[in-house]
Structure 1
């Protein structure tokens, strides 16, 4: 039982819905990678073309190679310089000092400095912490000890001093969690479940809290606000303090959030989505202190960027997948391009407002749907054309089939008047011959004959119009234009006679009498197109040129030439000598026409190129 029209439509709709659901699911799977790439690109675009300065920024102090080259102690034993830094910055009026450094677990009181034997590393740093707390808030980094399963301890005396500060928390996690591609984009909030203890307090959040901004932070670090960071070298801060340049220190640090960390090119490096270091332009693998600095910058200004909910992502994916249903490929692809541009512009604008619309799922679903439907339609059209070619290749000439397949020939179009060369051929005395043959033999012989001569017509770019018993009508110059339809027609006539001679040799071996053929050619205007009703029509040529060619074919026997052509044909190929003039003769229903005869197998001359007629 076949499907009715409505049943086919229902089946097509169900198939489309299933395809849309699969496309939406695939888009949601691939969306995270696409969204991270789009987010990074829009962060960089906004920073370059629409920079957003910040009112409250963090002062970054860097421990660089230049400082480490000037001191004898390793960074682990930089107690004296750290205490000196804390004193200078707190005296300058800093609101909070964040240290992206881990204080030692041991006292190191048994170590002696070669240059300063009286220096007590432990007491010096302990005094620095105690002198700083009354003037500035302190937030120090703590890191997770994965072997022991807890945060690494600091020396007990330091912990006791810091315990005197209740708000903000003096010790906070300095850990960040990266995305699948290794880049740090999200703030490590407890809901993400990426920190070992799922603590809501981080080095960044506690520094912000000390500046009076306490919140339940979650979302994406706001990388598009603020300029590139330029650090103040630790050595320069210490020198200003030693020189007593309190005014300069106060101008830099008063009422500011200060962050100290290493800025070396090979220490504590993380991958960021944008280039934040002014001293390393274009580089995105940078010291981790910059991630903390940008997080603090986000908290003190616009806040974190909030991504849309997964539910809205799903809705966008389903909407994009609906592009499967529209059959107009070009219009659909144009619409998809417009939607893509609009959504990218809108997402960039929303990002500046603190929202990330995560367009990856919708865009991927839309383009997968549009392109896969286009590919599916192209495959169906290809198969349909192949089916039509197999079904109708014997009904029309190859050039006509090619025009039909390309859409250049349409049954609904009106006929076109154009110059063509029309050819008629006919087998001489075939009726008497066929009366002595069985019907099957007649059909077999005609098929052998026509298969040979039609191949010659097609070889020279001609179109076989129709078969009329043992006769054939063809024309040259439509639907495919030819440089010289008349030359092509004469060459086809010559090769048709050569093929007939080959066929006659085969017939003689089979005991059949040879066949004789007459060919008539005339050149002139004719109306070319589909003739007939809407239910039954054929591609053909009509007009006086067709009638003259038919009459000329009928005169072959009278003049004794296998090929007869008109003066128009002879003129357009340059009046070659092998075309024998037979004078002007009146045709039935037509005025006198100049006639030329030709026996190609006798003369053996090539047809010259055409001349303007």
Structure 2
């Protein structure tokens, strides 16, 4: 039985208040904010920045091609530091405004420490070089050099309202720090979904405030004056860039990777050599006149890629360039500040509840709510596209949904129709078994992970790049696919998980997603079988490529973060952690030790020895690790397979 119109208005007001109250309770939940960030990504892609990226920013990148082309001269990555000194000397001849390194030079070069001194001299001669520093949430080993010279003057700069406190810092080598104009932080904190959308402008450490690398460049460039760095925003010559309470700035992306002018490092060094030989340089020094130069690395092992709203593989060095561009632009994105966001959420929820008084039928209510939702979305996209204003979409949409549920519930209590309506509504979804499973466990929908001990395996074909350059693509792909198929079959048969193919390389892990107690043994036995399979493939490989098939395998065991990583559009099941890096380094050490399999001590002590013989190689020092790593070479009873020279 329907209520009289007067009573309906009373109940409509009540549902409006309840819907608004519940919406306020859920609006700040992390998963709601994550979904809101996804809508921001959609708006960023729908309305690319009209303002072009700064043309005076140049990114010099040490990429795979640079490392490969200069390997005969500079050796393997990481390069000796005097190579960067040559780059600086060449840039200095062109007269750039400043040079910022997005590379940490925290440890002396292991093979050529004298190059560090040459690099320091080049930095001092340039007089406009800024080096990277990393800030850590937890305490790290105390630095021998003081970072006070890189701190901002707190008398001129206002700290954030609630600055994030950092307990540790990684600085450049003391001689490099002493020669540099200043330092800047490069530490980033992606959002909970793994996407990098904002960066810190300042870092608080031991009572001092340090600039990010981009802010240091902006101040040196004159784009920002220190008094313009305030608690809630940064003033530049073209406008204001808003900051959140923690001093983080929303990046204004100009597009995907290589939005800025890109120059490969090997081309710069080749141009240097051309001038020395009296030839016309490919890239004249004048190219860099009055430019702001960011130098970074994208080579494998540098781990300098970030996931952004535009790309899942975005160079970290270009993040700093984008941050500087954002600091100097006049089109920064502003989020509707509080209490505006709360008022918007409550207002939408209240209107949704009040609609019950205007549309009392079960057909009219959904039509009204859909119309209002479309209006809300249109308003949010218009505000973003024309005013660079970020209006929340998810929380007000939640208010609409709650208002709709409240009205439907009201109809059920009054007229007994809600049960039939709910059955019709849910009947559209329950037929899907996957949806039923997700409804039973909603946590599967969220990005996240868990820590677990696994064994990681990296493999790589020796000399494949050089071989492939001499062959036609069809031959290369045919031989490579045959090899990868055989290796994948072995890994999967031993219970491993294929993480990814990296060119001719393979990354796999054992022990996840299904827990396997003997995952170290499985990984080692899989590697030994892979070597045996290489011998089986040897004849066909030589016939197709004209070269022998040789591989290197690195294996390590440790605790990693395992789970789904990515965006709502695309996810992948993978592992993250330092043990992964160590396994990769062990694989590359095979060339140095003339082996084909190297296993860390952490794995060796967990392997069932039946049918496996071990040769202790010794202890090696891995860059970035304080303790030496014990390494071993496993073999079958048939004997150890030595890595040929050349």
**TM-score, normalization: structure 2?**
0.49
Question: In 2, Cα distance between the equivalents of 1:340 and 1:41?
Answer: 17
| CA 369–124 in structure 1, closer or farther in 2 if over 3 Å, else same | same
Question: In 1, Cα distance between the equivalents of 2:185 and 2:35?
Answer: 30
Q: What does 1:244-259 align with in structure 2 at a 5 Å threshold?
A: 244=275, 245=280, 248-250=283-285, 252-259=287-294
- The answer on 1:316 being equivalent to 2:316 is no
Which moved further from structure 2: 71-80 or 235-244? Answer: 71-80
Identify the residue that residue 151 of structure 1 maps to in structure 2.
169
- The answer on 1:24 being equivalent to 2:24 is yes
Q: Secondary structure of 1:243's match?
A: helix
Question: In 1, Cα distance between the equivalents of 2:306 and 2:112?
Answer: 39
| CA 342–80 in structure 1, closer or farther in 2 if over 3 Å, else same | same
Identify the residue that residue 41 of structure 1 maps to in structure 2.
42
Q: Deviations over 1:566-608 (max 9, x none)?
A: xxxxxxxxxxxxxxxxxxxxxxxxxxxxxxxxxxxxxxxxxxx
Question: In 2, Cα distance between the equivalents of 1:365 and 1:381?
Answer: 24
Q: What does 1:445-464 align with in structure 2 at a 5 Å threshold?
A: none
Q: Secondary structure of 2:200's match?
A: coil
Equivalent residues, number: 356
| CA 93–343 in structure 1, closer or farther in 2 if over 3 Å, else same | farther
Identify the residue that residue 284 of structure 1 maps to in structure 2.
312
Q: Deviations over 1:222-249 (max 9, x none)?
A: 3343564163210011112221246843
| CA 330–188 in structure 1, closer or farther in 2 if over 3 Å, else same | farther
Decide whether the 8 Å contact of 1:273 with 1:284 is kept in 2: yes
- The answer on 1:142 being equivalent to 2:133 is yes
- Out of 186, 191, 194, the residue aligned to residue 174 of structure 1 is 186
Q: Deviations over 1:497-525 (max 9, x none)?
A: xxxxxxxxxxxxxxxxxxxxxxxxxxxxx
Q: Deviations over 1:280-318 (max 9, x none)?
A: xxx413332222121112123236422122321111111
Q: Deviations over 1:243-268 (max 9, x none)?
A: 12468434532211111111235532
| CA 384–330 in structure 1, closer or farther in 2 if over 3 Å, else same | closer
Decide whether the 8 Å contact of 1:183 with 1:270 is kept in 2: no
- The answer on 1:267 being equivalent to 2:326 is no
Decide whether the 8 Å contact of 2:298 with 2:315 is kept in 1: yes
| CA 225–350 in structure 1, closer or farther in 2 if over 3 Å, else same | farther
Q: Secondary structure of 1:242's match?
A: helix
Q: What does 1:95-244 align with in structure 2 at a 5 Å threshold?
A: 95-106=97-108, 120-133=114-127, 137-144=128-135, 146-148=139-141, 149-162=167-180, 165=181, 170-189=182-201, 199=209, 201-214=211-224, 215-216=228-229, 217=234, 218=243, 220-225=249-254, 228-229=257-258, 231-244=262-275
Decide whether the 8 Å contact of 1:31 with 1:364 is kept in 2: no
- The answer on 1:86 being equivalent to 2:85 is no
| CA 302–337 in structure 1, closer or farther in 2 if over 3 Å, else same | farther
Decide whether the 8 Å contact of 1:304 with 1:354 is kept in 2: yes
| CA 158–326 in structure 1, closer or farther in 2 if over 3 Å, else same | same
Decide whether the 8 Å contact of 2:191 with 2:197 is kept in 1: yes
Q: Deviations over 1:452-481 (max 9, x none)?
A: xxxxxxxxxxxxxxxxxxxxxxxxxxxxxx
Identify the residue that residue 344 of structure 1 maps to in structure 2.
377
Q: Deviations over 1:8-48 (max 9, x none)?
A: 9656644542343123322343541221010011111123x
Question: In 2, Cα distance between the equivalents of 1:41 and 1:270?
Answer: 21
Greater RCO, 1 or 2 (C-alpha within 8 Å, sep 6+):
2
Question: In 2, Cα distance between the equivalents of 1:45 and 1:59?
Answer: 26
Decide whether the 8 Å contact of 1:98 with 1:139 is kept in 2: yes
Q: Secondary structure of 2:59's match?
A: strand
- Structure 1 residue 211: Cα displacement: 2.1
C-alpha RMSD over aligned residues: 3.4
Identify the residue that residue 401 of structure 1 maps to in structure 2.
none
Q: Secondary structure of 2:199's match?
A: coil
Decide whether the 8 Å contact of 2:101 with 2:132 is kept in 1: yes
Q: What does 1:532-547 align with in structure 2 at a 5 Å threshold?
A: none
Identify the residue that residue 295 of structure 1 maps to in structure 2.
323
Question: In 1, Cα distance between the equivalents of 2:22 and 2:38?
Answer: 23
* Structure index of larger Rg: 1
Instruction: Give the gaps of 5 or more residues in structure 2.
Output: 142-166, 235-242, 421-646
Question: In 2, Cα distance between the equivalents of 1:196 and 1:333?
Answer: 56
| CA 173–336 in structure 1, closer or farther in 2 if over 3 Å, else same | same
**TM-score, normalization: structure 1?**
0.52
- The answer on 1:373 being equivalent to 2:407 is yes
Decide whether the 8 Å contact of 2:271 with 2:282 is kept in 1: no
Decide whether the 8 Å contact of 2:95 with 2:286 is kept in 1: no
Decide whether the 8 Å contact of 2:408 with 2:418 is kept in 1: no
Identify the residue that residue 354 of structure 1 maps to in structure 2.
388
Question: In 1, Cα distance between the equivalents of 2:287 and 2:407?
Answer: 61
Q: What does 1:6-25 align with in structure 2 at a 5 Å threshold?
A: 10=10, 13-14=13-14, 16-25=16-25
Instruction: Give the gaps of 5 or more residues in structure 1.
Output: 114-119, 276-282, 387-613
- Structure 1 residue 104: Cα displacement: 3.6
